[in-house]
């Protein structure tokens, strides 16, 4: 028989208190707003699920959601293969290693709003290197007026900012592979593709899972960089959920709807992350 | 199957080797005959693995040429050499099944699938891995992993040679013996040229017909296990092979006798002129007779190792070992006699011939 000592619960108290202040209480405030309505004077009425129904029925919400999903899909489709490709081609030994690592880490060290500003200036057609350059080449590029150009610029910016993360994680996975594997593969006559498929990819599998999860969550929550670059425009073409949420909460001061939207937004990210995680951890083991 | 010729092979891992000390392999000139079972024996860092990797093409020698059946393969990459190699630490592709692991080297070379199947089944039976064939190669013991590695090495029947780089290091002792016997059997059945690298003399002596002993990047002796034991060409071979190794006593030559301290030992023949060199007399502990006659020694320790006893003693201030039977008595005033038929003479570590004896 095990002796149960309930005093052990006291040990958990400090953590509980911390989590309560950092997560539970703020979250509950949002929940609180989401089920009430007010006409001012700090008087609240019970609204039930009205706000949720309103959010889920609004075209504006679904349009922003569609843009978010499209954005995450596009940047994952670019950054993951590109990151793997760069990691595979980075040197394994010699002076090139620290040089490459530092260059790769640089974009990750820049604050988000600075990244937005850099690209905002970079893309300007009057003084920006990119905008001016494309203009000189005779291309009709203008991220302020043209939705496609705005999207291309935002995606380029995200790829520039975050591919390094995928590269560094993959590289860490790659350098952990002992030389003996490559030697054995040579003896076995494995092609370049077979080496990648059966040696390198399985070894990168775990870190790649982390990279994809991080990139998905981060890109789904993207706010600062497009806000600085385009402010959600032209029109609403680059208005992502987070930008829309801020407009709703602070711009229109529609607290109830914004709170309901936050909760939906949060649940979606939680669900997606769980799906990704389950799929990727089960991949490769279920057939065994 | 092929005859492998190493023609003045030298190798250095440094970009610009200057002296002999910069070379991991100093001038290797040797031929592995077609269908032979060879052991490359030597201590860690003597260049065994380098030599093996040069044969398989994982390392390209700095100098010299490599020929398979007279065909120059020096510049060919590993894939083009048709060599199988098993490494010290097991390599298993763990996203594949055990079956696919064994089929991998065959499929990579576009062997027809029915042939692959037949061959893989043979290997599975041989290694006793049939019950795991369809399972992913994950969560295996070190033994099983190394069996898969070995199996992949043996899968191709048309290889020029199979190279083993200390393949049984990670395997349990009883399993080691069984696998080694199997390898030997395979060698008899298929007649592949096999080169087996090890630092374990028992492993080398039981596996190979010919043992190649390496020391500091050089081949010091090539011979049958018996030759290595009876007539070590280099003091290193005498010391490395046998347990304990050969006794080596600094000596001076006086006609057909050797002087060790105040003792004079008759040699079986008269050595040639050996001016100004470091002379040593070598005698294996097995051929040192302990008794009441001969040269007086002072015994320091007697080790009982089961069926035999090892006697450590001092002769004229030099440590010497003798092996005696487990029931043999150690006399109160011990003396030793060296069996003259098994005396070897070394000048600067290399064996010198004596007249009237090979």
What are chain A's domains? 59-282 (1.10.3720.10)
Q: What is the pLDDT of residue A285?
A: 55
From the CB of residue B33, how many other CB atoms can be counted at a distance below 10 Å? 13
Q: Which residues is B30 bridged to in the sheet?
A: B6
Token pair for residue A105? 């880490």
Say if residues B58 and B213 touch (Cβ distance below 8 Å): no
- Indicate if the pLDDT at residue B273 is higher than 50: yes
Cα A221 from Cα A213, distance rounded (Å): 12
> Does A187 contact B95 at a Cβ distance shorter than 8 Å?
no
A–B: how many Cβ contacts below 8 A? 57
Q: What residue ranges do the domains of chain B occupy?
A: 4-235, 245-352
Cα A180 from Cα A186, distance rounded (Å): 10
Place of tokens 């004596």: B354
> Does A188 contact B108 at a Cβ distance shorter than 8 Å?
yes
Q: Which residues is B281 bridged to in the sheet?
A: B249, B345
pLDDT tens-digit series, residues B137-183: 888 888 888 888 888 888 888 888 889 988 888 778 887 888 888 88
pLDDT tens-digit series, residues B188-222: 888 888 899 988 888 888 888 889 998 888 888 88
E strand or H helix that includes residue B198: strand B193-198
pLDDT, average across residues B269-281? 77
Q: What is the pLDDT of residue A170?
A: 93
Cα A16 from Cα A30, distance rounded (Å): 19
Token pair for residue A152? 């291309």
- Indicate if the pLDDT at residue B46 is higher than 90: no
Q: What is the pLDDT of residue A84?
A: 94
- Listed as ranges, residues in chain A with pLDDT below 70 are 1-2, 283-288
Q: What is the pLDDT of residue A159?
A: 94
Cα A161 from Cα A155, distance rounded (Å): 10
Cα A241 from Cα A162, distance rounded (Å): 20
Contacts of residues A267-271 at CB distance under 8 Å and 24 or more positions apart, as own/partner, are A268/A65, A268/A220, A269/A217, A269/A220, A269/A221
Q: What is the pLDDT of residue B358?
A: 53
Question: How high does pLDDT run on average in chain B?
Answer: 85
Q: Which of A181, A194, A288 sits opposite B108 (nearest CB)?
A: A194
Minimal CA–CA distance to B91: which of A183, A172, A204, A191? A183
pLDDT, average across residues B122-136? 84
Q: Which of B56, B95, B136 sits opposite A187 (nearest CB)?
A: B56
pLDDT tens-digit series, residues B81-95: 888 898 888 889 988
> Does A288 contact B152 at a Cβ distance shorter than 8 Å?
no
Superfamily for B245-352?
A: Nucleic acid-binding proteins (2.40.50.140)
From the CB of residue A172, how many other CB atoms can be counted at a distance below 10 Å? 12
What distance in Å separates residue B173's CA from the closest CA in chain A? 24
Q: What is the pLDDT of residue A155?
A: 92
What distance in Å separates residue B52's CA from the closest CA in chain A? 12
Tell me how far apart the terminal alpha carbons of chain A are, to the nearest angstrom.
38
Superfamily for B4-235?
A: P-loop containing nucleotide triphosphate hydrolases (3.40.50.300)
User: Which residues in B lie closer than 8 A to residue A285 (C-beta atoms)?
Assistant: 136, 138
Q: What is the dihedral of CA B320, B326, B327, B329, to 10 degrees?
A: 20
- C-alpha torsion sign, points A156, A161, A166, A168: positive
Q: What is the pLDDT of residue A207?
A: 87
> Does B108 contact A287 at a Cβ distance shorter than 8 Å?
no
Residue from A178, A187, A190 whose CB has the most chain B CBs within 10 Å, to mutate: A187
The ipTM assigned to this model is 0.77
Q: Which of B58, B79, B91 sits opposite A189 (nearest CB)?
A: B79
User: Which residues in A lie closer than 8 A to residue B57 (C-beta atoms)?
Assistant: 186
Q: Chain B: residue nearest A201 by CA?
A: B95
Place of tokens 């010391």: B239
């Amino acid at each position: 028989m095990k002796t149960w000592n309930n005093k052990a619960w006291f040990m958990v108290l400090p953590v509980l208190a911390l989590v309560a202040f950092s997560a539970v209480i703020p979250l509950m405030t949002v929940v609180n707003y989401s089920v009430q309505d007010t006409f001012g004077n700090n008087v609240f009425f019970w609204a039930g699920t009205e706000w949720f129904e309103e959010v889920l029925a609004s075209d504006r919400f679904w349009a922003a959601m569609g843009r978010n999903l499209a954005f995450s899909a596009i940047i994952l489709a670019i950054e993951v293969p590109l990151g793997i490709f760069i990691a595979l081609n980075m040197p394994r030994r010699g002076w090139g290693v620290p040089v490459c690592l530092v260059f790769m880490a640089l974009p990750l060290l820049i604050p988000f709003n600075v990244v937005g500003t850099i690209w905002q200036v970079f893309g300007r057609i009057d003084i920006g290197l990119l905008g001016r350059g494309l203009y000189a080449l005779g291309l009709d590029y203008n991220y302020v007026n043209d939705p496609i150009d705005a999207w291309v610029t935002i995606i380029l910016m995200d790829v520039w900012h975050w591919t390094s993360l995928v590269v560094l994680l993959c590289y860490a996975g790659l350098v952990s592979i002992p030389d003996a594997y490559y030697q054995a593969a040579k003896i076995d006559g494995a092609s370049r593709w077979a080496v990648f498929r059966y040696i390198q990819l399985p070894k990168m599998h775990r870190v790649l899972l982390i990279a994809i999860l991080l990139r998905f969550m981060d890109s789904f929550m993207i706010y600062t960089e497009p806000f600085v670059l385009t402010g959600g425009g032209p029109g609403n073409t680059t208005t992502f959920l987070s930008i829309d949420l801020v407009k709703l909460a602070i711009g229109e001061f529609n607290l109830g709807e914004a709170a309901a939207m936050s909760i939906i937004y949060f649940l979606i990210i939680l669900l997606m992350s769980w799906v990704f995680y389950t799929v990727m951890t089960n991949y490769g083991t279920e057939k065994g | 199957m092929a005859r492998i010729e190493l023609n003045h092979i030298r190798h250095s891992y440094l970009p610009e080797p200057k002296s002999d000390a910069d070379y991991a392999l100093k001038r290797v000139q040797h031929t592995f005959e077609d269908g032979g079972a060879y052991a490359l024996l030597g201590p860690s860092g003597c260049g065994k693995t380098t030599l093996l990797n040069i044969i398989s093409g994982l390392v390209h020698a700095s100098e010299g040429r490599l020929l398979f059946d007279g065909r120059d393969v020096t510049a060919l990459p590993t894939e083009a050499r048709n060599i199988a190699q098993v490494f010290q630490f097991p390599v298993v592709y763990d996203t594949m099944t055990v079956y696919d692991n064994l089929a991998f080297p065959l499929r990579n070379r576009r062997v027809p699938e029915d042939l692959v199947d037949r061959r893989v089944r043979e290997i599975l039976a041989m290694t006793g891995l049939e019950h795991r064939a369809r399972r992913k190669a994950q969560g295996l013991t070190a033994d099983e992993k190394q069996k898969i590695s070995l199996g992949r090495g043996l899968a191709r029947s048309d290889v020029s040679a199979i190279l083993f780089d200390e393949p049984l290091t990670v395997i349990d002792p009883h399993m080691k013996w069984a696998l080694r016997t199997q390898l030997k059997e395979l060698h008899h059945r298929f007649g592949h040229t096999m080169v087996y690298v090890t630092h374990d003399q028992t492993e080398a002596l039981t596996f190979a017909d010919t043992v190649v002993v390496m020391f500091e990047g050089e081949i010091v002796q090539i011979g049958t296990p018996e030759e290595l034991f009876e007539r070590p060409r280099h003091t290193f071979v005498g010391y490395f092979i046998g347990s304990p190794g050969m006794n080596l006593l600094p000596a001076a030559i006086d006609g057909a006798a050797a002087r060790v301290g105040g003792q004079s030992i008759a040699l079986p023949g008269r050595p040639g002129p050996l001016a100004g060199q470091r002379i040593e007399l070598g005698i294996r502990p097995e051929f040192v007779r302990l008794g009441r006659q001969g040269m007086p020694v002072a015994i320091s320790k007697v080790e009982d190792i089961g069926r035999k006893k090892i006697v450590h003693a001092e002769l004229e201030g030099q440590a010497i070992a003798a092996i005696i039977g487990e029931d043999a008595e150690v006399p109160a005033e011990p003396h030793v006699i060296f069996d003259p038929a098994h005396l070897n003479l070394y000048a600067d570590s290399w064996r010198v011939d004596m007249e009237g004896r090979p």
